[in-house]
Amino acid sequence: MVLTVLLCTLLVVSTTATEPELRPNIVVLIADDLGIGDISCYGNDSFRTTHLDRLASQGALLTHHLAGATVCTPSRTALLTGRYPVRSGMQEARHGPVVVRNVPGRAGLPADEMTFARALRDAGYRTQFVGKWHQGWSCERWEDQCHGPRGHGFDSFFGLPFSLMEEGEDGPVSQRRDEPLLRHVLPELMLADPQPPLRPGDCHRAAAELAWRLWLDTINQTDFRGGSTPRANWWGHTMAVEKFLNYQLVRDSTVVDWPYQLAGLTQRLVAESERFVASAARDGEPFLLVHSFLHPHTPLFTAPEFRGVSGHSRYADNVLEMDWAVGRLLAALDAAGVADNTLVHFLSDHGGQLELVGPDGQREGGHNGVFRGGKAQGGAEGGLRVPALFRWPGRIAAGSRVEVPTSALDLLPTLLEALHLAVANYPDPAVEHCGRADGLCACHGDDVRRLDPPRLFDVQADPAERREIPSEQVPVAPSQMDQFELVVPRAELLPWGQLHKFRGADFDMHGLHKWWENGGSCGVVPGQCEEYGR
């Protein structure tokens, strides 16, 4: 229903039956934790987000767009799949973390979920994901990416399997007595991992896996199941361990920086997307680019040239660096000559986080306008109602506003409709062919029929599509996030054979603040940071 509203409201120039199938390029820009009150096209006059304002003036601004959830992992699941996260166990858990917690853990977007990337790739699109993923990574070994972008329809990936993390996690809860094992012993063992190919029975790896086993057993017994009240936050880590487990910058399946440097990371991700747009446009291939910003999630790192530009706050400087990046990506579409044939969608994954305050008392979370609540606050409007813009020149009226409720869950079907996908329209419902004299149905015009609501069949149990499933019978999967076995990091899921490259990289710094103030670390391998000219 909402989908139809979204599409009908957006498409002002209706297509005719004789028009050939459309193959617009698609660019989806996802902000991380940005509030609806943080950008000037939504009324914030404390500073100007000029590039987002321009995008809004060239397309449609949605005033009532709702995220699928109020924290990152489930909201992005909803966006990618068009399904509520409870369908795939990606929702928050009662006794576990609210999001996917470990890159080398087993929780993640199930391999059999359909994503808009997979649908577009199957329709002949070149697909790339750049930036923060946070949908889990692998099942049996690092490279399988059963939960990763490459397992979900993206030909290529450059970014963070996980998310930025603030130093607040480095609290007393995670200072458990067994931590030194992981903090000191494992890095030593793992960084001693020999050059590939690994020899069977390699003793470093065996020793590391044994130490890891002991560590997991301790958490399992004392923190997770121990006593009548399991300790809260059993999944927490110290920052050093966090970086060791979860701070990889990855190209496809190759770790290129670990722990990744924050300095210049925004620019590095933008450069990647620019290259992708230029190359797909040059080859004349329709493309899907998802650019998932690290901004304005904490820690609020910005390149030196953006510090103080807002005249407002560190948070606003961060928003303006993101706005600059949006401008660069729009310019890349112009330079490649594809802007007119590209549908650009910008949105935030959910509302701003109201509780975040820096050490100096400055607020570090987003502003949700007049709406109550924010990130991680259940159904409160401020956590769900997000800024959302669509631009598709000639098809979406410039400067339009959509004021009816719309949903991030509608992106997948909306994109597919933009390609004119629908079901064949049989003139005689009893005879399942479209009855054209030339024998071939067309995928548009009178030959197709739009379904409202869509119909659902279990094609395994019911391959002939005879028994429609009432939508209220669609099963709900229990959350993966409070299942110890799925959440905890596992030695076998680390990128073995790639670790030796990062020997000497600083996994042992005290706290993230110091780390990012120092510009992060590139590690010691020559050429490791060369993509960004360092």
Ligand X SMILES: *[C@@H]1O[C@H](CO)[C@@H](O)[C@H](O)[C@H]1NC(C)=O
- Sites of contact with ligand X (CB under 6 A): 37-38, 44-46, 216-217, 220, 315-316, 366-367, 484-485, 488
- Which is nearer to ligand X, 132 or 314 (by Cβ)? 314
Residue 218 CB, nearest approach to ligand X (Å): 10
End-to-end CA distance of the chain: 51
**Whose CB is nearest to ligand X?**
367
Minimum distance between the CB of residue 116 and ligand X, rounded to whole angstroms? Answer: 30
Q: How far is the CB of 497 from ligand X (least distance, A)?
A: 24
83 vs 367, beta carbon nearer ligand X: 367
Count of CB atoms situated within 10 Å of the CB of 522: 21
The C-alpha atoms of residue 405 and residue 387 are separated, in whole angstroms, by 12
Rg of the chain's alpha carbons, rounded to an integer? 24
Picking from 447, 430, 428, the residue whose alpha carbon sits closest to that of residue 438 is: 447
Q: Would residue 367 show up in a list of annotated catalytic residues for this protein?
A: no
Residue 373's φ and ψ, nearest 5 degrees, are 80, 180
HEC assignment per residue over 81-141: HCCCHHHCCCCCCCCCCCCCCCCCCCCCCCCCCCCHHHHHHHCCCEEEEEEECCCCCCCCC
Min separation Cβ 413 and ligand X, Å: 32
The 3-state secondary structure of 397-456, one letter per residue:
CCCEEECCCEEHHHHHHHHHHHCCCCEECCCCCCCCCCCCCCCCCCCCHHHEECCCCCCC
For ligand X, the closer CB: 47 or 158: 47
HSE (side-chain half, CA atoms, 13 Å) at 215: 25
Q: Where are the alpha helices (DSSP H) in 137-264?
A: 179-180, 186-191, 203-218, 239-246
Listed in sequence order, the residues at least 6 apart from 12 whose beta carbon sits closer than 8 Å to its beta carbon are 395, 396, 397, 400
Decide: 438 and 447 in contact? Cβ < 8 Å: no
Quick one: which of 291, 294, 266 has its CA closest to 149?
Answer: 291
386 vs 442, which CB is nearer to ligand X?
386
Strands (E), 316-362: 342-348
**Catalytic choice (134, 291, 297, 345):** 134
The residues pairing with 26 across neighbouring beta strands, listed in sequence order, are 288, 343
HSE, side-chain direction, 13 A CA sphere, residue 502: 30
Q: How far is the CB of 398 from ligand X (least distance, A)?
A: 25
Buried b (16+ CB within 10 A) or exposed e, 287-298: bbbbbbbbbbbb
- Shortest distance (Å) from residue 181 CB to ligand X: 15
Least Å distance, CB 469 to ligand X, is 35
How many helices (H) and strands (E) would you count in the chain? 14, 13
CB of 358 to ligand X, least distance (A): 13
Choice between 486 and 505, CB closer to ligand X = 486
Nearer Cβ to ligand X, position 334 or 485? 485
Q: Cis peptide before 470, with omega less than 30 degrees from 0?
A: no
Name which of 115 and 310 has its Cβ closer to ligand X: 310
Neighbours of 181 (CB within 10 A): 16
Pick the closer one to ligand X by CB: 102 or 115.
Answer: 102
Q: Which of 352, 383, 324, 362 is CA-nearest to residue 47?
A: 324
Active-site option among 8, 41, 65, 72: 72
Catalytic-residue membership of 134: yes
Residues marked active site are found at 72, 134
